[in-house]
Structure formats: structure tokens, C-alpha cells
Structure 1
Amino acid sequence: MRIFKLPFTFFRVKFKKNSFKILNLPLVALTNVINQLDIQSVSKLSKTSKKMRINIKNARRKVHKLIIDNHFEYHIDKFHQPLFYQRIILLETKSDVVSAYSYVANQENMNDYILTMYSVDFWIDWFHSINNWNKKQRDQSIFEYRSSKQLLKFLNCFDGIFTIDHLDLIIDKDVLFGDYQSILNHPIFRKCHYIEIGGRDSNISTEEMQFLLNKINVNYGMLVRCELLGSMNNEAMLKIPRLDIFTAEYITLKDLVNMDCEVIKLWRHLFTSQHINQFIHHWMAGAVPKLRKLRLNYFCEPSWVDEILLGVKHSKWDRRRRPQFFCDGLERVDCADGDDIERDDGLHATVIFMHDAINFLVWHDKFSLNNNIK
């Protein structure tokens, strides 16, 4: 329990009528009050006066992450129409991210394979959409809007009163390059380093991709669910640290070898076991030095493992050489059944087949957990 909760109950209930009393508090006391209020109350309090808004900003209430949703739900069945999410999810602390993901991970029939199929933001989205979620906490964490004008009002408010660490954007491509394109000019997008572009019935051109990368410094990652045109110049994406492409039939072996990425996930690709074997030989020679994880989803067969490792010296798991689980932030992969490769410089990698996916995992720091949680 927070120690200031009881003393400031009065302010929670009465701040509209007595805002001047809070306004007269010294900064330290005001900061304590602001930190005890829920986010919705802080937002309302900031609207009581311009001076109050400035004082709240000076209190520097921290927000770990905002997720801007503007997309149709990812998976729909034949029995209902898709929901169109237009909302901001506010995650005040890193532990809020971990708690949401852990809740999903502990659901019945959930496993590491299913979890790693989709992004962490996907599961946070899902967590905030399930019916049995705590309604009070949900109401404090979700801000719905219906237009770009309403969204900008929220962004102005949050940027004006909170210290925000991260901003993630999940948006359908046609929406992004329609009425909502102007939001990218908002200064809060300086905090945006991760974007998911939805719309499986849409496609994105080289010019549109370059425009987006010029507007947003994508130095964490990008997920692309819409179609990449055959004429697409993939070079613009090759330096994104975390790259997840759902329609990757136009990604070539040359593209793969030239990527400066840490994590690569490709779906609906045209790679064969021979291509991946060639890729591993390139990696053995020092290519893709930053790579930690390559995952190829769909069109993969268990027999591929032997073909992928043809001509490559490999061995089964030895716990003295590496851990059982490969950790990537909140995601983890059980590598007990994987085949290990050692490069001439001593760097190890593991090839493991899981359901319909091939994983190539590089152990840059074998015995420490990767805590790159955003």
C-alpha cells in the first residue's frame, strides 16, 4: 500500500472544487499527491487551470508506455464482425507490461510457441480486450477516441502532463495514410520507436515505407502485416533492429544476408532448406553480425533440419555450453531439442524446429537473461 494514499483521499474526491488548495502545495507535496491519483484523475485535474497543468508537468509523473491502437482486431472468426480498435492503452510501469504478458502466458492451452508467434503488443492488446478483465483498472488504462482530432487532444494532454518513456503505434495502413497521417507530426512521436502496420488487404509501396521511416525513428522494431509490393525496395527495412514481415515472398536470400537486424521473423516466405543452409554458411563466415534470432514461419518441415545442417558441424544440447531457454525480452524458446553450431570465433547458435517454424538462435551472451523489455 502506498503510504500517502489515506492523507490524500480528500484530493481524490474533491479536487474539482478545491483545486486551489492543491495548487498552493509545494512541489514535493504536490508530486506526492499526483503520484497517488489514478491517471484519469490526473488528466481531469490538469484541466482545472493552466497553472495546475504546468505544476502537474513539473511533478514529472512517469508513464512507461503508450500504445496507440487504430486497427481491426487481428483474428476474427466467421461468427462475428471484426472490432475496430481506436484507443490508447496506457501502461504506467514496466511491471504493468510484464503483468499483462504473464497473465496471458498463464492461460490454459498457452505455450511458448504460441506466445512467440505474435508480438508482445499483440498480447497486451488481447489482455486489454478480454471480458473477465478488471473493469476499474481497464477504465483507468484505456482512452477511446473516434477521430484524429480526438486522438490529438489526448496526445496533447499526455505530452503536456506526463513524462513518457515509450510510444508504440499499431495502425492499419490505409488509416495511417488517410485521415491519421497528420498525427505523425506531433512531437510525442519522438518517443515512438516501434510500429505495427496492419491491413492484410492493403499493400505498401517503397515511397510510403520511406515516408514512414523518415517520420518515425524505428530504432526498436517494425511489424508489417500488409502486403509488400513486388517492386518494393527492401533496402529501407534492412537496418531495423527487430523486423517482422507477414508477407515475405519478395524477401530474397541476398536481402537476408545483408540485414543489419537483431531479430527477424518472416511469414509466407519462399525460402527452402537449401537457402537456409547457404544463410548459415554466410553466418559462419561472419555475415549478419548483430543477429540474435531468425524465425521462419510456415512452409517448414521437420526434415528441413537435416538439410539445413548439411555440411555444418553440429551437436546436441550440452547444458555446460549454453542454457536450455533462449530469452528475448519477455519471449523465450525451449532449445533442449536443438542442434548447436559453433563458429570459429567461439560464438554458438542453435537450430530448432517448432511446429511449422524454423528458429536460428545466436547466443551472444549465453548465461545472462536478455531483459530488453520495452
Structure 2
Amino acid sequence: MTSPFLLFHVPTLPLGRIINFMEPKTLVSLSFCSQKSHSVIKTHRKVSFDGHLLIGESHQNASFLSFTYSVFGIVADRNRVLSAQKFVDNINYEDMESVKIGGQHVRVEMDHLHGHLISYWSNTVDGLKALTEYVINLFNIGVSDIWASKQSFHMIEWVNSRQKTPLRNIWYADWSATPSSEEDMIYILKDCRTISQLRICLKLPPNFRFSEKFRKIDCLDIWYGEWVTIDNLLTMDGIDIILKSSTLTSSDVNVFLKHWLAGGCPRLKLFCLKTGYVNILQVLTDLLHNAVLVDDHRDYVSPFGYSINLSSGYDIRGADGVTATVCKQENGTLVFAVWPETTHNN
């Protein structure tokens, strides 16, 4: 029979190295064992995390925290650090372990397949707040990424109110048929502090309009862009701008191209527009003298990882000498790509 390994009897220097090598989800589970374990982890964990603290929803009754980048909007279960799930009637919670989180005793169990703790709550958003407070206190970090739905929208406001560092990424999504509130959307577009990416994947009321100037957003990806007007587009200051389900016309795009050629939207690298119908000649009205037809197929990768094959198109040159390609894809998407191509750095 082997003897137990008394971790906290290890001298300080090797103990710190051991803790630095342990996975965050293992450290979180270990931290609940005692006040001493929590204190030792908080004191000795020194290395930076390979990733950013992400909080999000699996579905309306389950939320999670992770230190892993998403891949196509998905964080694998094995990469989660903590989960909050809603109580259901057909599970006996009395036999589960109880730990203290946020001043209350919470039932938890280990997800043995993926190696992280699952906690159970009457309200998963309240649970997610408590778990977030616990993790950021344990590791002395801030929240970087949020995936929120209409149900958990106020998580965005809550994080912004409690930390000085702006959020890096926000994914605001909801697949229900009920439109999101206009107040929430205006907050996201106008007042919510992000420094990198904003993805909006939900429908809005048919009469919704945004009359304010867009703030600086590096990557803006709007899946249901019926509400975006040409005036909105002209005020955007982004590197990647993706608009789907748009009502913009070929004439609107022509106005935008002239705006860019005159020096507008100077940071732009990629603009993709999925709309009802695009006539490339109307898009290039009054610009054909500055357009060179290119028949070659060229691959383009934007700063935020959008990979596109440009099947022919027209090259146009701005007032600053920068060249961009205007191309209509086979699926009807209009692509505006600024050269030189920038390596994906997200």
C-alpha cells in the first residue's frame, strides 16, 4: 500500500512549482478542500494562464467558466473549470458534497469524465456570479470573455461594473423567437466597454434603429443585420466588419466604398456583407476608372481569422495608396478585403 502524498508538507519552493504546473480546474477543486488549500493556491500560483477567463452558457439551465479560447463558438466540456447547473426534480442532491461559495453552502459533484466541478443552484445566473467571484479572487484575474443570452445579459453589465479592465470579447446570442430588448442592444453598442470583438447573434424588433455613433470595436460580427443602415456603416470604426441578413443595397455599398476611398474607416481590413441582392457594377458606380479586374483566385485571412477565397474581383486603390479587392462570392456575399493580408492573430 502506497503512502498518501502530503502536498502541503512540501517545502515552499517546490510546492510553488507543483501548483504552477497544475491545471486551473484541478486547483479550483483543490481550493474547496480547506481554508489552507485555498490560501496556499492563492499565494503560490504565479504563472499566467494560457487563455482568458471566459464565462458563458451551455444552455438556459447551465453556465460555465473556462480558461480556453473558443473554437467556432464552442468550448469543449473537458476545458471547463467550473459549471453551474439548475436544480432539477429527478436528482437526489442530499448525498452530494457541499462546499461554501459566496457565503452559502452549495451542492457539488465531480464531472469525472471531464475533470471539473459541477455546482447546483436555484438560479444559474446567480450561481455564475458567485463562481466568477470565487475564481477571480482565487487567481487574482479579471473576466475577459462573455457569452450571454437575454437571460444572462446583466452578466455583461455586472462584470463591467466590477472591474476596470475592459472585456476583450462579447458574444451576445439567443436562438429563441422572442426579440431582444432595445435597451439591452443600445447598451451593448454604445456603453459596453470591449476592446476587441463583439458578436451579436439575435433578432431585434422590426422597428429597431440605432441613431448613435458606433464606438470603436475591432471586430464587429452581426448575424441579423436588418436594422443596420448606411449611416450606421459609415460611423463604424473596425478592423473586421461582418454583416449578415442585411438590407443594405448595392448603392449603399457604393457610398461606403467612396467613403473608404476618401480616407474613411482607416483601420478596416475586411468587410463582408450578406444581403438580398448585390450588383457589382452598381457597387462600383463612378469607380470603374479606379478599378482593375483580377481573374485570379486569392486566399485572404483577416486579422480575426476569417478565411476567404477571393474568386476574381476588382482591385481599387484608396487616397493613401492602399489597395483593396471588391469581390462577389458565389453565395452572394460581397467581400471587401484590404491588402496586405494580415496574419490571424486572435
Give the TM-score normalised by the residue count of structure 1: 0.68
Q: Deviations over 1:53-87 (max 9, x none)?
A: 23323322433123322264xxxxxxxxxxx4623
Q: SS state of the match for residue 261, structure 1?
A: coil
CA positional deviation for 1:20: 3.1
CA positional deviation for 1:14: 4.8
- Report the residue type matching 1:20 in the other structure: F
Q: How does 1:60-99 map to 2 (within 5 A)?
A: 60-63=46-49, 64-70=51-57, 72=59, 84=60, 86-92=62-68, 97=69
Counterpart-to-counterpart distance in 2, 1:240 and 1:347: 21
Correspondence for 2:220: 243
Correspondence for 2:193: 217
Q: 1:186 to 1:45 in 2, by over 3 A?
A: farther
Q: Would you say how many aligned residue pairs link Structure 1 and Structure 2?
A: 304
Q: SS state of the match for residue 48, structure 2?
A: strand
Counterpart-to-counterpart distance in 2, 1:287 and 1:329: 21
- Bigger proportion of residues as helix: 1
The gaps in structure 1 that reach 5 residues or longer are 1-9, 73-83, 102-119, 130-135
Runs of 4+ residues deviating >6 angstroms: none
Correspondence for 1:337: 312
Q: Deviations over 1:314-361 (max 9, x none)?
A: 224499xx9742332333222352321111321111112221311111
- Bigger proportion of residues as strand: 2
1:160 is the counterpart of 2:137: yes
Q: How does 1:163-202 map to 2 (within 5 A)?
A: 164=141, 167-177=144-154, 183-184=158-159, 187=162, 190=165, 192-200=167-175, 201-202=177-178
Correspondence for 1:369: 343
Give the TM-score normalised by the residue count of structure 2: 0.73
Q: SS state of the match for residue 228, structure 1?
A: coil
Is contact 1:169–1:195 with CA below 8 Å preserved after alignment? yes
1:54 is the counterpart of 2:16: no
- Report the residue type matching 1:36 in the other structure: F
CA positional deviation for 1:198: 1.8
Counterpart-to-counterpart distance in 1, 2:35 and 2:292: 66
Q: 1:214 to 1:338 in 2, by over 3 A?
A: closer
Correspondence for 1:114: none
Q: Which has the higher contact order (CA 8 A, sep 6+)?
A: 1
Counterpart-to-counterpart distance in 1, 2:26 and 2:17: 14
- Report the residue type matching 1:369 in the other structure: T
CA positional deviation for 1:284: 0.9
Q: 1:49 to 1:137 in 2, by over 3 A?
A: closer
- Report the residue type matching 2:20 in the other structure: N
The gaps in structure 2 that reach 5 residues or longer are 79-110
Q: How does 1:141-156 map to 2 (within 5 A)?
A: 146=121, 147-156=124-133
1:299 to 273, 276, 281: 276
Q: 1:160 to 1:215 in 2, by over 3 A?
A: farther
1:40 to 12, 25, 44: 25
- Report the residue type matching 2:15 in the other structure: L
- Report the residue type matching 1:159 in the other structure: I
Q: 1:336 to 1:128 in 2, by over 3 A?
A: farther
Counterpart-to-counterpart distance in 2, 1:161 and 1:183: 19
2:9 to 21, 25, 40: 21
- Report the residue type matching 2:14 in the other structure: A
Correspondence for 1:280: 257
CA positional deviation for 1:368: 4.9
Counterpart-to-counterpart distance in 2, 1:326 and 1:349: 13
Counterpart-to-counterpart distance in 1, 2:113 and 2:319: 52
CA positional deviation for 1:43: 1.1
Q: 1:44 to 1:237 in 2, by over 3 A?
A: same
Is contact 2:169–2:196 with CA below 8 Å preserved after alignment? yes
CA positional deviation for 1:276: 0.8
RMSD, aligned CA = 3.5
- Report the residue type matching 2:46 in the other structure: R
1:227 is the counterpart of 2:203: yes
CA positional deviation for 1:143: 5.7
